[in-house]
A and B are shown apart, each in its own frame.
Chain A
Amino acid sequence: MSEGSPSLQLGISWILRIGVVLSVLFNAAGLLLDYAQTGSASLNLVAGSSWNVREGNFFDFAYSTTRSVFGGFTPVELASLGIVILMLTPYIRVIAAVLYYGVERDWNYVAITFFVFTVITLGLFIF
């Protein structure tokens, strides 16, 4: 039997592709807007600056990014959105796999993918 089915492969492939393309667009927009505003492309790593993320766990970061986006786009917010979308791509691929194996009634793999989903979710919350 061929590994996986074409529908799972295509589905996951599209999720990943859309995710990375959106992520690149938002990241690039953030950097370009910053360059347009400051005229500088040098890298300043200043602790506590607006580029420095100190948001608690990933879900806090994703939540505050999503909220702040409604107030208009700044370079930092665009880049934040790019990173949030990027980090969601592996997460969504696990969820897609759980659902797919559920529909296929392949219970071994429903259990396996659900276990992975649980561990990653815990990891995102705990740290």
Chain B
Amino acid sequence: MIGIAEALLFAVFAGFVGSLLGLGGAVILTPVLTFFGVPIKIAIASSMVAIIATSSGSASSYVKEGLSNIRAAFYLEMFTAVGAMVGALITRVISPVVLYFFFAAFLSTSFYGIFGRRNREFPEVKQDRLAQRLKLEGTYFDKPTGKDVHYKLTRPALAGPGMFVAGIAAGMLGIGAGGFKVSIHELVMGMPSKVSSATSNFIIGMTALAGASIYFTSGFIYLNLVAPLAIGTTIGSMTGARVLPGMRNKSVKALFLIVLAILITEMLYQGVIQL
């Protein structure tokens, strides 16, 4: 079994990568913990709490710098939160095996979509009427180019149901589903990659909170594991939040594609071993 110090170090790494990409870091933590002998349910439950630390740790900087789009975050969270609850309820009825394949397919589509846009630094977006009514736009200071970037978002009516599906993934599989969220932000709404990471980090803490609660009841929370993980992801995410503003959107996308590939492999692997 892994020691407390090692758990903390892995969490620093997970929090760092998570904060750059808008993922909670469960995608890294859960497999690492299980590899070192932590039972899967305990690994998932602990990662869920660690996601909250990644989210709050990085969002504290992103929100201040105006990189998180708070309006878009709350609009989308309506759908994700309901999806997470529905997901947590239907896991009792539907076997997760089917889901792993479904989500692997979903993520492969995202991979294909983002790969096609990998060289686009700033997306050009024509806003639709609902997005205008919801005031889904923003401005952030882009360090690499040294100028203020104004961006507009679009198609919230399509992004909503997409986020509902992301929420179901979060509820059923015990993940923050950052990979799904970032994909929808970029492919459906036309969000710049950095805004997408920062906004996703702002949301995942809320989704994970609703999801983590279920594990308190079921007794999978061990504070001697959760505490070092939370410390680690907090440190990692606060460090990552200092790095992201200086990165180019293209670099963020390239890194995201790598993690997406890992996530797809992980989903397929889980699906196959449970067949």
Q: Which A residues contact B (CB, under 8 angstroms)?
A: 1-4, 8-10, 12-14, 16-17, 19-20, 23-24, 27-28, 30-31, 34, 41-45, 47, 49, 51-58, 60-61, 76, 79-80, 82-83, 86-87, 89-91, 93-94, 97, 108-109, 112-113, 115-116, 119-120, 122-124, 126-127
Q: Which B residues contact A (CB, under 8 angstroms)?
A: 1-5, 7, 38-39, 42, 49, 52-53, 55-57, 59-61, 63-64, 66, 69-71, 74-75, 77-78, 81-82, 84-85, 88, 133-135, 137-139, 205-206, 208-214, 216-217, 219, 221-228, 230-231, 234-235, 238
5 contacts across the A-B interface (CB closer than 8 A): A3-B138, A13-B60, A54-B219, A87-B52, A127-B214
Bound CA span A119–B167, Å: 12
Bound CA span A4–B78, Å: 18
- Inter-chain contact B217/A120, CB cutoff 8 Å: no
Residue of B nearest to A21 (CB): B234
For A10, A45, A51, A82, the residue with the greatest tally of chain B CB atoms inside 10 Å of its CB is: A45
- Inter-chain contact B222/A45, CB cutoff 8 Å: yes
Which residues of chain B come closer than 8 Å to A43, judged between CB atoms? 1-4, 7, 224-225
- Inter-chain contact B42/A86, CB cutoff 8 Å: no
Residue of A12, A42, A47, A55 touching B1 (CB-CB under 8 A)? A42
Residues A24 and B231 in contact in the complex (CB < 8 Å), given A53-B222, A83-B49, A90-B52: yes
Residue of A10, A87, A127 touching B49 (CB-CB under 8 A)? A87
Which residues of chain B come closer than 8 Å to A3, judged between CB atoms? 66, 69-71, 135, 137-139
- Inter-chain contact B81/A58, CB cutoff 8 Å: no
Which residues of chain A come closer than 8 Å to B39, judged between CB atoms? 45
17 further A-B pairs in the complex, CB-CB below 8 A; given A41-B3, A42-B3, A97-B74: A1-B135, A4-B71, A9-B70, A12-B63, A20-B56, A20-B60, A27-B228, A41-B5, A43-B4, A45-B222, A54-B219, A79-B227, A82-B227, A83-B227, A116-B74, A119-B85, A124-B210
Residue of A30, A87, A97 touching B209 (CB-CB under 8 A)? A87
Bound CA span A90–B52, Å: 7
Residues A119 and B70 in contact in the complex (CB < 8 Å), given A23-B230, A90-B55: no
- Inter-chain contact A123/B70, CB cutoff 8 Å: no
- Inter-chain contact A91/B209, CB cutoff 8 Å: yes
Which residues of chain B come closer than 8 Å to A109, judged between CB atoms? 71, 74
Bound CA span A44–B79, Å: 38
Which residues of chain B come closer than 8 Å to A4, judged between CB atoms? 66, 69-71, 138
In the complex, what's the smallest C-beta–C-beta distance from A58 to chain B, in angstroms? 5
Bound CA span A59–B1, Å: 31
Which residues of chain B come closer than 8 Å to A19, judged between CB atoms? 56
- Inter-chain contact A86/B56, CB cutoff 8 Å: yes
Which residues of chain B come closer than 8 Å to A97, judged between CB atoms? 70, 74
Bound CA span A51–B133, Å: 49
Which residues of chain B come closer than 8 Å to A54, judged between CB atoms? 216-217, 219
In the complex, what's the smallest C-beta–C-beta distance from A79 to chain B, in angstroms? 4
In the complex, what's the smallest C-beta–C-beta distance from B245 to chain A, in angstroms? 14
- Inter-chain contact A123/B81, CB cutoff 8 Å: yes
Which residues of chain A come closer than 8 Å to B75, judged between CB atoms? 112
- Inter-chain contact A89/B56, CB cutoff 8 Å: yes
Residue of B5, B52, B71, B82 touching A86 (CB-CB under 8 A)? B52
In the complex, what's the smallest C-beta–C-beta distance from A45 to chain B, in angstroms? 5
- Inter-chain contact A61/B63, CB cutoff 8 Å: no
Residue of A nearest to B4 (CB): A41
In the complex, what's the smallest C-beta–C-beta distance from A24 to chain B, in angstroms? 5
Which residues of chain B come closer than 8 Å to A9, judged between CB atoms? 63-64, 66, 70
Residue of B nearest to A35 (CB): B4
